[in-house]
Amino acid sequence: MKDIPKVAERFIRYAKIPTQSSEQSKKIPSTEKQFKLAHLLVKELIEIGLKDAQVDDKCVVYATIPSNLPKDLGSKVPVIGFNSHIDTSPSESDENINPQVIEYQGEDIILPKDNTVIIKQKENPQLSDYIGTRIITTDGTTLLGADDKAGVAEIITAADELIKFGSKKLHGKIKLMFSPDEEIGRGYKAVDLKKFGADFAYTVDGGEMGGLDIANFNAAEGSIEIKGYNVHPGTAYGLMKNSLRAIPEIIKLFPKEMAPETTKDLEPYYHPFMIKGNVGNVSLHFILRNFDASGLDEQIKFLDNGVKEVQSKFPDLKISINTKKSYKNMKEILDKYPYIVDIARKAIQKTGLKLIEKPIRGGTDGTRYSFMGLPTPNIFTGGFNFHSKKEFIPIIAMEKAVETILNVIYIATKRFLEEDVKN
């Protein structure tokens, strides 16, 4: 595949390396295999000229593009960071990922190794924007991992181009960081934001071309524990307290019309997702999502009250609920730094794309960084159907993401050199 652009070539190379993270593991990184890609990235970053590229024992890759500004101007331009994650979702296999490059002609895409897996035009109306262009898909047996190896390939390709321009295009110091375990919500624990050293940053971990994420759900997670008493059924008379009996009532606490599968856009949801247990003890795990912080508090209270009611119906059982907040809406932070969002908006528009700003029904590493003191909106990668065998990414969208990253750098540099944008 000689004729595909560098960014796609890079992406396919990274996609083939398995890097699935694991919720079961307590380690950082959660899986050793993520190191293989991290080491490859360090090698490639050094090859393109980023001499300080390194990976630490937590599998985080750091690298610097030095500023090429004259000394007296250097301090006027803040350090901009770019970050993406190297792990892929545990939701689908990462074994033998075999990306396919196809010329898209407007048909449904039947994947070669499992013809029951079909990327349908009807389910993916955006496909029509890419007729006559090339698209990368899976072979139908794995996910693709464009989430977020597309982001990795796009950032490194932009860095490569920036260095090749040399002093022809002025820019401040740029920091790159590639981190593990985002998909299991722990990547932010691995990173050292001081070492990253950016004044503000952008994750490149979004979806459709033109997308900019500056708001996300407030999130909470928790579990409801039901304690009973188990004894041999033959001698259970008057003794056994079956914790499973309360489950139907507990499930009813989660409104069907406020579920992930029945809500969209700004609508909040309750999502019970796992039950474990037996007669003696059963636990139900759930997550709550709400764009409004006080709305999330109400959801938590609603479940607390519901559990109390169920408890009163089952005095023999002991029912408890434990909920904790996991992340907040980054808009709260980004609203304080409108120029950071404005630079990204202008960069996407300068690339010639339609800006798509939709609050995301999830969180990113950038959400966490924003609350850790590093404001970090999220830029598109160009990919679709993340975490699925039907994942795909148009090559043109990857090229546009590279261009957008470069435009962020140029626009920010120009802006900080010309004016005091913080006012």
- Supply φ then ψ for residue 76, to 5 degrees: -75, -25
User: Which CB sits closer to Zn ion, 205 or 403?
Assistant: 205
- Hey, which residues does 283 pair with through a beta bridge? 225, 276
CA distances to 37, 158, 356, 407 from 48, rounded to whole Å, are 16, 11, 32, 20
Please report whether residue 154 would count as binding Zn ion according to CB under 5 A. no
User: Which CB sits closer to Zn ion, 28 or 247?
Assistant: 28
Does the annotation mark 87 as catalytic? yes
Q: Residue 178: enclosing H or E segment and its boundaries?
A: strand 174-179
Q: How far is the CB of 334 from Zn ion (least distance, A)?
A: 19
Residues near Zn ion (CB under 5 A), total: 3
User: Which CB sits closer to Zn ion, 181 or 205?
Assistant: 205
**E-state strands within 17-117:** 54-55, 61-65, 80-85, 100-103, 109-110
Q: How far is the CB of 182 from Zn ion (least distance, A)?
A: 5
**E-state strands within 199-349:** 200-206, 212-213, 218-227, 269-277, 281-290, 318-327
Q: How far is the CB of 110 from Zn ion (least distance, A)?
A: 26
Active-site pick, 87, 92, 147, 183: 87
Q: How far is the CB of 216 from Zn ion (least distance, A)?
A: 13
Active-site pick, 182, 208, 391, 399: 182
* Structure-block tokens of residue 311: 């408890």
Among 306, 244, 238, 254, residue whose Cα is nearest residue 281: 244
User: Which CB sits closer to Zn ion, 205 or 399?
Assistant: 205
**Per-residue interface string for the shown chain with Zn ion, residues 182-221, x marking contact by CB under 5 A:** -----------------------x----------------
Q: Which of 92, 94, 147, 403 binds Zn ion (CB under 5 A)?
A: 147
Does the annotation mark 161 as catalytic? no
3-class SS of residue 327: strand
Quick check: bond before 112 cis, omega within 30?
A: no
User: Which CB sits closer to Zn ion, 8 or 150?
Assistant: 150
Cα four-point dihedral sign 104, 108, 114, 117: positive
Q: Which of 44, 92, 148, 154 binds Zn ion (CB under 5 A)?
A: 148
Q: How far is the CB of 85 from Zn ion (least distance, A)?
A: 6
**Per-residue interface string for the shown chain with Zn ion, residues 227-246, x marking contact by CB under 5 A:** --------------------
Rounded-to-integer distance, Cα 268 and Cα 248, Å:
23
Residues that are catalytic? 87, 182
- Using CB under 5 A as the criterion, which residues of the chain lie in contact with Zn ion when the complex forms? 147-148, 205
